[in-house]
Amino acid sequence: MALSMNLLVFMICSIISCFAMSLSYSISNTEYVAFVFGDSLVDAGNNDYLFTLSKADSPPYGIDFSPSGGHPTGRFTNGKTISDIVGEQLGAKSFPPPYLAPSTHGTAILGGVNYASGAAGILNDTGSIFIGRLSLDRQIDYFEDTKEELVKMLGDKNAEEFLGKALFSITVGANDFLNNFLNPISPKRPSPHSFEESMIAQYRLQIERLYDLGARKFVIAAVGPIGCIPYDRAINFLPNRSCSASSNELVTAYNQLLRNLISELNTRLSGAKLIYANSYDIVLDMFQNYANYGFENADDSCCGDVSALVPCSLKSNMCHDRSKYLFWDAYHPTEAANIIIGKLFLDGNLSCVYPMNIRQLLLL
């Protein structure tokens, strides 16, 4: 029995108390502009232009990405990312192009730009084992260049108004744990609390810098339950239906600090509104209660071997029905999962997005 997507989202929201009475709100296409920052969860192809070991530029990545006809675009999933889903639901006619694409200039930037990069982190040394990647600091450097181009096109006042209405989404932090603090070949590590505090201190400066550059509407995604992804479960030799408690405890402590940071900045940054997108609780519930979401498998990656340690490629085993899997590869959700997460970010209540959802934020 196939449920319609709207009915499925209603059921999901009921399960985790995320449904909000905001579905009647609307926003015109001309008002939706998005500047996307982060890691491989939202990379739209920037790493295709880098010398890096972190790439998604070959099949079967993108196999379900309808705008490209199923060809890879540099997205680290089988189809659309969470950011793509949000834009699509809001009526965007196209997705923000990757900053490093040669054509991302002039009128191409008026719908926003994607700066996200696979293997990127809050800390500048995160992801160095992959060689090339754009740290969050470097992504903000590139946004500063974009702003200069906008000012030349629109003038100072109009550029300020343009950026003040735009959505600035940041999805980052998981690699700081996976490829830095939790990396078994990393040098001697500080205490978990010291590491998390260093992440928050750096993140504060980065968000404040975006604010100084004109950003006013922020969506800050929590780090998801990395102890439940196929990679972390595989290296810890965990059985099905189990997550790494130690990894998730680290992330939970960090997310609380992040939530506190967002509350602080909402008070201190005049005219800014930041929302906390609770991807941790959403994805954890999807893992624990996967059948309620229409999935048949939440343990294994759709593309890759059962150990989740062999990268996804054309030589990999592929699941028969990608819509029934929570995870596409060892690290990333399927498009089916991204659709659910994106819609909850857009229309969820305080359990999903705090202190308001994305649709409400854009109406301010």
CB 93 within 8 A of CB 110: no
- 354 lies in which domain range? 5-18+25-362
Q: How far apart are CA 188 and CA 5, in angstroms?
A: 47
Of 121, 101, 117, give the one whose Cα is nearest residue 109. 101
Q: Where are the beta strands (DSSP E) in the chain?
A: 34-38, 112-114, 167-171, 217-221, 273-277, 297-301, 325-327, 353-354
- Residues of the chain short of pLDDT 70, as ranges, are 1-31, 184-188, 306-309
Q: Where are the alpha helices (DSSP H) in 1-48?
A: 5-15
pLDDT at res. 311: 80
CATH number of the domain enclosing 38? 3.40.50.1110
Number of domains in the chain: 1
Region for residue 45 given its phi and psi (left: phi exceeds 0; alpha: psi -120 to 50; beta: otherwise): left
pLDDT at 15: 44
In angstroms, the CA 240 to CA 48 distance is 34
pLDDT reported for residue 307: 60
In the 8-state DSSP scheme, what is residue 177? I
The pLDDT value recorded for residue 181 is: 82
- Angstrom CA distances, 19 to 46, 169, 287, 348, stand at 34, 21, 19, 5
- pLDDT for the residue numbered 310: 73
Instruction: Write down the pTM of the prediction.
Output: 0.92
pLDDT of residue 322: 97
Tell me which residues are annotated as active site. Answer: 40, 329, 332
Measured between alpha carbons, how far is residue 265 from residues 142, 164, 213, 221, 350 in Å? 23, 16, 15, 15, 18
